[in-house]
Amino acid sequence: MEQINQLREKIDDVDEQVLVLLRQRVEICRTIGILKKKSNMAIQDSSRENYVYETVKQKAADLGLDSKKIDAIYHQIVNMCSSVQN
């Protein structure tokens, strides 16, 4: 049981790192939104979004992860980040 607890602590650490990185991504996207508004650019950029989805799916597959599930996760991440650009 001790080994399981230690592994769960490692998961907690990884989860915290994921959240910190998501926060960084949101802040970067917020800055991009400000720059887009100043340049009168559309918030949504479908070609960029498609690039992100294809890139993460390929990297997920390379890492042995389920690319369909990663794609679903990234749709949520992109939606969250797009919402802060408004």
Domain count, the chain: 1
Position 35 scores a pLDDT of: 97
Question: What CATH number does residue 63 fall under?
Answer: 1.20.59.10
Q: Considering the entire predicted model, what is its pTM?
A: 0.90
Provide, for the chain, the percentages of residues in helix, strand and coil under a 3-state DSSP scheme, each rounded to the nearest 5: 85, 0, 15
Compute the distance between CA of residue 23 and CA of residue 19 in angstroms, rounded to an integer: 6
> Largest Cα–Cα distance of the chain, in whole Å?
57
Contact assessment for residue 36 and residue 18, using Cβ atoms and an 8 Å cutoff: no
Whether 77 has a pLDDT exceeding 90, the answer reads yes
Range of the domain at 22: 2-83
Question: Which residue shows structure tokens 């400000």?
Answer: 34
Collapsing DSSP states into helix, strand and coil, what is residue 78?
A: helix
d(CA 85, CA 33): 4
Dump pLDDT digits (tens) for 49-58.
999 999 999 9
